[in-house]
């Protein structure tokens, strides 16, 4: 999997922002505006407590992960971007 920082992700996909400049948040998949192309939807997911490296290390696991599309497990909320992710996208964003 490719990893992006939050800033790299925001530059590439242009998330919609709320009135305070934060990500526009939809608490459930059903609250995402009707007719939104699924390729513009991202799930903000609570990260796990384990490091993804196979070897022992001292890195901090991500607090949140942003993944393309609709997900159901550990979802904090959904957000929408101006630019779509492609069918071949296999990246996620580390957001500490």
pLDDT tens for the chain, 96 residues long, are 567 788 888 999 999 999 999 899 999 999 999 999 999 999 998 876 555 555 555 556 557 888 899 998 889 999 999 999 987 776 677 665
Looking at residue 57, what is its pLDDT?
53
Domain boundaries, the chain: 2-95
Sequence-ordered list of residues with C-beta below 8 angstroms from that of 86, at least 6 positions apart, any chain? 39
Looking at residue 88, what is its pLDDT?
72
User: Both ends of the chain: CA-CA distance in Å?
Assistant: 18
- Residue 92, φ and ψ in degrees, nearest 5: -140, 160
Report CA dihedral (81, 86, 87, 90) to the nearest 10 degrees: -80
Distance CA 36, CA 38 (A): 6
């Amino acid at each position: 999997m490719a990893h992006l920082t939050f800033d790299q992700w925001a530059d590439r996909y242009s998330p919609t922002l709320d009135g305070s400049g934060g990500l526009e948040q939809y608490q459930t998949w059903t609250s995402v505006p009707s007719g939104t192309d699924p390729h513009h939807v991202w799930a903000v997911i609570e990260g796990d407590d384990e490091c993804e490296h196979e070897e022992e290390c001292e890195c901090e696991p991500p607090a949140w992960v942003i993944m393309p599309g609709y997900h159901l497990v550990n979802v904090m909320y959904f957000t929408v971007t101006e630019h779509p992710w492609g069918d071949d996208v296999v990246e996620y964003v580390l957001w500490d």
